[in-house]
Structures are given as C-alpha cells and as structure tokens.
Structure 1
Amino acid sequence: MEKNQQKQEFLAETSEMKNTKNNDDCSVQQQQRFVWPWVGLVANIPTEVEPSGRRVGKSGSTLRDEFTMKGFNPTRVQPIWDFKGHSGFALVEFAKDFEGFESAMNFERSFNLDRHGKRDWEKGHRLRDNKLYGWVAREDDYNRSDTVGKNVKKKRDLKSISQIVEEDERKMVHLVENMSQTIEKKKQSKQELEQKVDETSRFLESLELHNVLLNKNYQEGIQKMQMKMEELYQQVLDGHEKSLAELEAKREKLDERARLIEQRAIINEEEMEKSRLEREMVIMLSLQIRRKRSQGNKIFVVVVVVESKGYV
C-alpha cells in the first residue's frame, strides 16, 4: 500500500511538470531521461589548496549531514576528485525507489527556488556567488566527457520516467504473479498437510489399539517368562545342592583316605628304619666275615711259606 501511494505521488509529480509547460515542453519532459539510480550533483563546493599543492574541500559525510538536516535524506554524498584534488563537485545519492525520487526532486526544487539550480550554474562564472548549486543528474550530465561525467556514469544508466514506471509495473505484475503462484502452492501444501494430518490421526488411532493389544501380549509374555525363570532358577538351585552334597561326600572320602595314607606312612617309616638297621647289621657281619676270611688267608699263606723253606 505504501509503495503504491509513493507511485501515485511519483505520477502526480510528472503530471505537475506536464501542466506547467506547453504541449511541446510536456512531450520533451516525458522523454527526458534521468540518471538511474537517482543521483544529484552539487557544484561550487568551497575548496582550498594545501601546502603540498593538493586541493581539498568538505567531506562527503559533512555534506550528507547538512542535506539530511534539510530533509533531503541522501544515502551517501561522494566528493568528485581529479588529478588536482577536490574538484568542487559531489554526487548526492538517493534511495532507489519513489521515495528516493521525491527526495531528489525536493533537493532540486530547493536549489531552484534559491536560484542556485542547474540553469543558474550554467549562466557563467561571473554571475555565480559562493553558495552551493545543485540539481538532479540527467542525460547531459551523464554524457559529460570530463571527470564529473565519468563519475556519474559509474554503475548507473539513463532512464525516462515512463521507463521507470513501466519497469516498476512489470516488476509489480511479476511480483503479483509470483505471489499468486506462492499462494497457490501454499494452498496445495496446506491441503496435502491436512490430508497427511488425517492419515496420521487414523494411523495413531489404529496404533493406539495395536499398542493396547501389544501391551497385553507383552504382559502375558513377561509373566510366562518370569515363571520359566523361577523354574529354571529352582532347577539351578537343586543342581547346586546336589553337586554340593556329592562334593561333600567326595571330600569326606578323601579325608578318610588321607588319614589311612598318613597311618601307612608312619608304619612304613618304622619298617624302613627296622630294615635299615637290619641291613646295617648284615653289612657289618659281612665285613667281619670278610676280615676274618682275609686274616685266615694270610695265616695260611705264612704257614705255606714257612713249610716250603723248611723252617718247621
């Protein structure tokens, strides 16, 4: 709504320009081309020469603040520089919409009412004072071959008011078509979503019934499983008790056997000691017998020798 209102004001502005001139001038005004996006030119900015020889002047931010306070709402002010420094000109950029056009035209009207518009600037140096001059850039500014013209051309082109209106209308039609398509897609998506919601609701209802039955079967299964686990646990306990009883019986048998072995070991030790003593006695007797036999042999040898020598 706000954009349409701005557009109507824009068209009213063009109608007002038509009504202030004759028919020939109106035709020229309709075909007049502006620099797009909207941009104004400010001339006669005070400059001074630094000791280095470079010319300097007001900054863009300072000029922007001054024009903003006057209600022109520029988005940016960019001083134009050449090889000498500040050229005394600046570009005044406005928003790229009908509100920006209105601000640009107010900017131009303000300078025209103060007799410091473009025509006043073009009257020549002798008729100028020290104030700023300003206007909205058009085709002749765009086609300038100097530094100002080169800066005006950067990222800009020329469009008539009717072209801008037609382009805006085409954009609006395209926007409406896109919005219509988007709305239609949204409606279709809504219907599909509602259908999915219905299907999901029915599915959830059937799922709830299924869950009830499933829960019942689950509980019955759990009870059966618990009973089987209890039976299995009892079987395991019984098996453990039986195994413990068998192990206890085996342990008692082993204890009894160990006692018998210990008793036998004691008896065996006594018998072994007795046998050892007997063996020692036999060995001693054997040694004695051997010694006696050896002594007997020696006596026999001596007797034989004596007899052989005739000592007897």
Structure 2
Amino acid sequence: MNSTVSTVADEDSDVRRALMDINSKEESSDISESDIDDYKKKPFEQLRAGNYKVKNLNGTLRCPFCAGKKKQDYKYTELLQHASGVGKGSANRTAKQKANHLALAKYLETDLSGEADQVQGPSLPQPFFQHQQDDLYVWPWTGIVVDIQDKSLHHSRYWLKKLAKYWPLDVHIFKENDVTAQAVVKFSDDWSGFLNTRDFDKSFGTKHCGKTDWELQNMKPDSRIHGWIAREDDYHCEGPIGKYLRKKGSLKRVSDIVHEASKSRRSDVAKLANEIDVTNENLAKMQYRFNEKTMSLSRMLEEKDQLHHAFLEEIKHMEQRVAKESRRISDEKKHLNRELEARKRKLDLWSRDLNKKKALTEKEKQKLEEDKRMKNLGIESLQKGFYGEEES
C-alpha cells in the first residue's frame, strides 16, 4: 500500500515538473492578445488528447496550466470559474496563459460537463422528501398553531419559550374571540429552519394533534391544541392566517428550494474561487515585491559589508603606513642625534685645537715681540756706538 502511494506521488511529482517545464517554455515565447482565439484551439485539442492532466486520483480537478500552485484540488464549478476568470480578465497573465485557460474552460463545458452533476447540493432529509419534494410549502418556513383556548397562552412570549427547542424566530397571535386564538410561528428560511419546522410538525402529529386530526374533527375546538407546517391549502385559506401567509410568504416546492440553494451554493463557490484566484494573484504580487525588496536588501547588505571590509583594510593600511613612518622618523631622529653628537665632539676637538693654536700663537707673538725688541735694542746700541765714534 505504501509503495503504491509512493509511486503515485512520484508520478504526480513528475507530472508537475513536466508541466512546469512546459509552462516555462510557453511563457518564453508568448503570443499577442489578438492571437488568443486562434491559439486556444491547440491546447483544447491537447486537453482532449489527454496530454494534460485535469482529474486528480481523489476525484477533484486541477488546473494543468498553473502547475506548482498550492491550489490543485478544485471542484468543477471552482475550476470553471478559475479558467474563465484567468482567460477573460487577468491583467497579470500573458496572452498565452489566457488562451490556455480559455481552452480549459471550453474543455470543461464540452467534455467534462458531467462533472458538474457531481456537485452536491444541500443534504435532503430522507426519507421525508422522497414523496414530498413536489409539495408546495409556505416559504420562509412557517408553522401554524390553532385552538388555543387558554387565555394565558395568548402571548407570543409563551410560545417562543415553549417552542424554543425548534428555534422559532417569531410568533404572531390571532385572537378569534375572548376565548380562542391562533398563532403563526416563523422559522429561519434555511435548511436548519426547515428541519426545525418539520420537527415542530411531527411533535404535534405524534400526539394526534396534527392537521389531519384537526380536519377529522371538522376543525371544531376541543381541549387539545393542534399544530402543523404551513402548506398550499393554508396559504390559500380564508381568514387572518391565510391573509398573513400570503402577505409575508410565498409558495415553493422543496425541489425548487434545493435547486435554488444548489445554484446559490455554486454561485458562492464560484465567487469564492474567483476571490481565491484574485487573492493568490495579489499574494504572488506581494511575494514578487517581497523578493525584490529582499534582493535589494541583500545587495545593500553585501555592499555595506564590502564597504566595511574596504574601510577596515584602509584603516589597516593607514596604521601600517603610520607605524612605518613613525619608525622612519624615529630612526632618522636617532641618526640625526648621532650625527649631531659626532659634530659636537668634532667641534669640541676643533675648539681645543684652536685654543691650543691660539696659545701657541700668543707665545710666538710674544717671542717675536721680544726678538723684535731685542733687535731694536741691538740696533739702537749699534747706532749709539757708531755715532759716538764719529763725534770723537
């Protein structure tokens, strides 16, 4: 059993992938709006030939041109509404997609129209309806109560409370005289209201207080209260009850109610299907915008990371350059300091040598002065001796 299910699931998955490939190829070579009527013939013939899968194994239907979508378990009316809606009015679909869906709508109406008969209408009470579907009833569903002789019961509040288990909506009292009164009980106009009205009718019938019992006693008052569901003869009867029923209600067959309810249900289903398609398209748009925003945000974050990385790299290079420059300046400072010290020592040596030379120069100068003085004295002495000899 499990292997069978697995095989079916695998086949279904393969079909999905194949259809997605087909759709992607078709979308890549789209047609113009004016070619839709001509192009839809091709997918229609392919549908008839069985090239596209429309029926699911569980009896539901699928759209072969929307492969990959979550919604793939349509009922007949839902799928027909989906195909017609996409084919005629979806602005977000390509011309080829519209043509495909128009072909699907035509295929459903011509080849799968029998699937529409399988749409279930409201469940009918069985076997109650088997012989009464063509009977005419007053609608909205109505009950009648007659022969109310106790004056304390001539109040709608009492009957609303007494009949509470049948969920009546309203009770209208008609007083025939000071002693006897009649009542019309209104129920909801849906199927639950009919079931409640039927149970109301049966509750009187099982106690032999139904309409047949009332007619058997020639509609003469007695100690029992009678009640029944309002039908055609009640609608046309004389008196206040007949007048009230003709004013407030109408006659309908149960089969008509079933048909109208089924028609309304199909319309609601089609409307909901269309709303679902619109919602899905809106979700697709939102998803597309979300993906765009996500991609844009991803790019922004990536650019931010790149800028941050470049900033860190630049800071790192600047720190390296600053450290290298600091080392260079420090080394140059040390070198200049060493050179300055060397020159200072050299200047000191030069200063000492200069001082020494200056001292030697002073001594030599003094010696020269002394030699000069001695020479002068010697000259003077010679002169004096020479001139003295001349005088003598």
Bucket of the pairwise TM-score, normalised by the shorter protein? 0.5 to 0.7
Question: Is 1:76 matched up with 2:179?
Answer: no
> In the TM superposition, what is the alpha-carbon distance from 1:188 to its structure 2 partner?
1.0
Residue 44 of structure 1 corresponds to 147
> In the TM superposition, what is the alpha-carbon distance from 1:94 to its structure 2 partner?
1.6
Question: Is 1:147 matched up with 2:240?
Answer: yes
Out of 159, 165, 169, which is 2:252 matched to? 159
Residue 10 of structure 1 corresponds to 125
Cα distance change, pair 210–135 in 1 and its aligned pair in 2 (3 A): same
Letter in 2 for 1:75: L
> In the TM superposition, what is the alpha-carbon distance from 1:72 to its structure 2 partner?
2.4
Q: Assess if the C-alpha contact under 8 Å between 1:116 and 1:134 holds in 2.
A: yes
Cα distance change, pair 201–133 in 1 and its aligned pair in 2 (3 A): same
Question: In the aligned structure 2, how far is the partner of 1:86 from the partner of 1:185?
Answer: 63
RMSD of the TM alignment (CA)?
3.1
Kindly indicate which of the two structures has a greater share of residues assigned to strand. 1
- 1:212-251 to 2 correspondence within 5 Å? none
Residue 268 of structure 2 corresponds to 175
Letter in 1 for 2:259: E
- 1:253-272 to 2 correspondence within 5 Å? none
- 1:14-33 to 2 correspondence within 5 Å? 14-15=129-130, 18=131, 29-33=132-136
Question: In the aligned structure 2, how far is the partner of 1:120 from the partner of 1:99?
Answer: 26
Question: In the aligned structure 2, how far is the partner of 1:92 from the partner of 1:195?
Answer: 57
Residue 61 of structure 1 corresponds to 157
Q: Assess if the C-alpha contact under 8 Å between 1:6 and 1:98 holds in 2.
A: no
> In the TM superposition, what is the alpha-carbon distance from 1:46 to its structure 2 partner?
1.7
Q: Assess if the C-alpha contact under 8 Å between 2:143 and 2:227 holds in 1.
A: yes
Cα distance change, pair 166–206 in 1 and its aligned pair in 2 (3 A): same
- 1:270-281 to 2 correspondence within 5 Å? none
Letter in 1 for 2:158: T
Residue 251 of structure 1 corresponds to none
> In the TM superposition, what is the alpha-carbon distance from 1:183 to its structure 2 partner?
1.4
Letter in 2 for 1:13: F
Question: In the aligned structure 2, how far is the partner of 1:159 from the partner of 1:76?
Answer: 21
Question: In the aligned structure 1, how far is the partner of 2:270 from the partner of 2:238?
Answer: 43
Identity %: 26
Cα distance change, pair 12–97 in 1 and its aligned pair in 2 (3 A): farther
Residue 196 of structure 1 corresponds to 289
Select the structure with the greater relative contact order (CA < 8 A; seq sep ≥ 6): 1
